[in-house]
Amino acid sequence: MNTIERTPPEVIRTLIDKEGRIAVAFSGGADSLALLVGVCEVRDPEDIVALYVNHRLRPEEELEAELVLNRKNAERLGVVFEVLDLGPGSVEDLAKERKKGVEEAARTLRYQVLLRACKMHGCPTLLTGHNADDQLETLLRRLFTAGSLSSLQGIRSRLEQDGITILRPVLNCPHKDLEAYLVEGGWAWSEDSTNKAETYQRNLLRRRMTGDLLSIFEGAYTALEVQTRRFADLAVFLESSVEKAFEGVDVRGDEASFSLSWFQLLPSTVQELLLFRLAGADSSSAFIANVHRALKADKHAIMESGSHRIEVHRGVVTWKRNEEPWSYAIEAIGDEIVLPGNLVFRREAENRDSTLLRIDGTVLENPVLRLSRDGDEFAGEGGTANVAKILSSQGLPPALRVPVLVDRSGIVAIFARVYGGRDRLAKRFKAPLARRLTNIYSVSRRIDDEIYE
């Protein structure tokens, strides 16, 4: 059978400290309830806080029934129970703003409030109920979306985030074993209706794939535990390989350089990770992929993104930090305006690119092009936000100064696409877009080069 015969108390006891308060991410489902019950067998319930996050994604009737059951179970255990309400529409708004899925947006907001609550309750440790089935689904998703070798270590059993230690004690326990543990103890748990929705990729994997795999490979859970441990070891090895490769990079202040022929002799995975190391946290995966392709092509090239400028010349790669651009304010009255920083602003009557911004120019009052500034506010569909925060949410440096179109009403548009982000149009200018006077507005680079695609 596909079973790892370890009860939650047995695995929890080996992972958590004997002292200090502990927070448990408690959804009320079988996995998190088994975790909460298990930790209460190991530690004094008075030291435990059960944190329930209400994402506001399900019918109110279902949520109310779930809360009643969760409070009942928490009272039976004698633990503090707290509800963390994200507020109506918050998940959908973030998903729309970042142009990502609801699952990713919910996860981002969930961990934000969980970590904040941990600090408020003085809990240095947060436990989550991820199990072996979650690990299998994660590995399948990363495998079939060409995730990095390091990502194939799957869900990590331990990590540090904002000073809080996050532990997944039941990560190697199958979901059915956790349910059996609860049944034996006479516990009732809630069922999340969204787990049946086929709009979520994870649910599709669970229904159409993982069950068959587990029936074919009897030792799948054990193999999964072994393989994720191996990939974790591989991730450490790759990190040390990148560390060693970095010795071949000449770093002087904000500038780094290395031999192109030397770089091309490195294993491809090490090449990619080295580029990420040079870029730091303020560069997109798409930009790194473009740089990687260009360096493999072995030709002269100049690439820019945000604060990064990479030049390949006579067999030497030079990576620099761009100087901060000067400010400007230019009346947006022409169809094509050359901007500092090798950029050009265009206003067109037609363009097949549906991602470009469409604005009725007749409603603009004294439009001006300028660079974004500290404190700039932008009123988008998800509400008003600081421009720096919007850039950060797109994976760009918050301090990056990007072209913006403004008029008497404030910022009309943010042009971040040219730096690897996304252009944004203020909510008040979004409708109706089918007017005859609607034009397409964009900012692009003046160099016609495939590197910038």
**Which of the four pLDDT bands, split at 50, 70 and 90, describes residue 223?**
very high
pLDDT of residue 210: 87
127-141, 219-233, 274-288: segment of lowest average pLDDT: 274-288
pLDDT of residue 3: 44
Q: Is the pLDDT of residue 449 over 60?
A: no
Average pLDDT, the chain: 85
User: Residue 362 is which amino acid?
Assistant: T
CA dist 59 to 64, 85, 93, 272, Å? 9, 14, 18, 45
Distance, CA of 225 to CA of 179 (rounded, Å): 20
Task: Write out pLDDT tens, residues 113-126.
Answer: 999 999 999 999 99
Taking residues 109-136, report their average pLDDT.
94
Q: Is the pLDDT of residue 438 over 60?
A: yes
Residue found by looking up tokens 């100064």 in the block: 401
Catalogue all structural domains in the chain, each as residue range(s) with its CATH number: 8-232 (3.40.50.620), 249-321 (3.30.465.60), 329-452 (no CATH)
Burial class (CB in 10 A: 0-12, 13-18, 19+), 170: buried
Preceding peptide of 8 cis, ω within 30°: no
Q: Is the pLDDT of residue 247 over 60?
A: yes
How many CB atoms neighbour CB 321 within 10 A?
14
Task: Write out pLDDT tens, residues 53-88.
Answer: 999 988 899 999 999 999 999 999 999 999 999 988
CB pairs under 8 A, 24+ apart, for 69-75?
69/28, 69/188, 69/189, 69/190, 70/26, 70/28, 70/190, 73/28, 73/33, 73/36, 73/187, 73/188, 73/189, 74/26, 74/36, 74/50
Q: Is the pLDDT of residue 191 over 80?
A: yes
CA atoms lying within 13 Å on the CB side of residue 149: 15
Residue among 225, 406, 440, 185 at smallest CA distance from 335: 440
